[in-house]
Amino acid sequence: MDRGSPIAFYFDPISPYGYLASTRIEALAERYGRQVDWRPVLLSVTVLQVMGLKPVPATPLKSDYSRQDKSRMARLMNVPICELRHPDVSPIRALRAFLWLKRRDAAQAARFAKGICAKLWARGEDISTTEAVLQEAVLQGLDASALRQGMESPEIKAQLREEVDHAVAAGVFGVPFFIVDGQPIWGVDRLWMLEHWLKYGSWDPAP
């Protein structure tokens, strides 16, 4: 087992918990000398199709709890969050843009992904359209023209499908989902477990 291997961080911008994790994962990894490998996944595939579940906002009882939970967790983490103002939001174009950027500069792609998550959950703006995605790219000083062409390429569209298939094969069913040293960890409320593993390399209690 390579204790210096990257942390695979599976994210979907439509998840508020994925957004919260996106604000912490890089700093956490850096404290323990690890890199973060940002990996896209679609909850519309893992939750709706593979698991056959309803989305949380459409699930009785759980939806009410989730609205309260994400708000208080964001407050504890000192991170801004707002209610989802675009219920039919789609992350597909944003994730295609992310993959095109990742082929060229993984660090820039990660910054873009964090920006897209914040655009939806901190600023309450839609991320579904190509124009919305390009607006975030311009804010980050990226070449919007090249990105527009790249994110619509057949290769990138195929890569996103492959990434989702990979995530399902790896056992990813929700976000945020982390895999480090072969250890799967799900949920922003399990960041403490991720840190425990990074610090001690075992599930024994801290000495």
Q: Which of 176, 171, 196, 122 is closest to 11 using CA atoms?
A: 176
Paired with 10 in beta bridges are 39, 177
CA distance 11 to 110: 11
Task: Give the CATH class of 7-200.
Answer: alpha beta
Kindly give, in sequence order, each residue whose CB lies less than 8 Å from that of residue 72, ignoring residues fewer than 6 positions away: none
H and E: helices and strands count for the chain:
10, 4
Phi, psi of 108 (to 5 degrees): -65, -40
Q: Which residue has the tokens 């062409």?
A: 149
Paired with 8 in beta bridges are 37, 179
Domain edges within the chain:
7-200
Give pLDDT, residue 49.
Answer: 73
Cα 7 to its chain centre, rounded Å, is 13
For each of the chain's 207 residues, which pLDDT tens digit applies?
556 899 999 999 999 999 999 999 999 999 999 999 999 999 988 876 766 767 777 778 878 898 899 999 999 999 999 998 887 899 999 999 999 999 999 999 999 999 999 999 999 999 999 999 999 999 999 999 999 999 999 999 999 999 999 999 999 999 999 999 999 999 999 999 999 999 999 999 998
- Pairing of the two strands 177-180 and 183-186: antiparallel
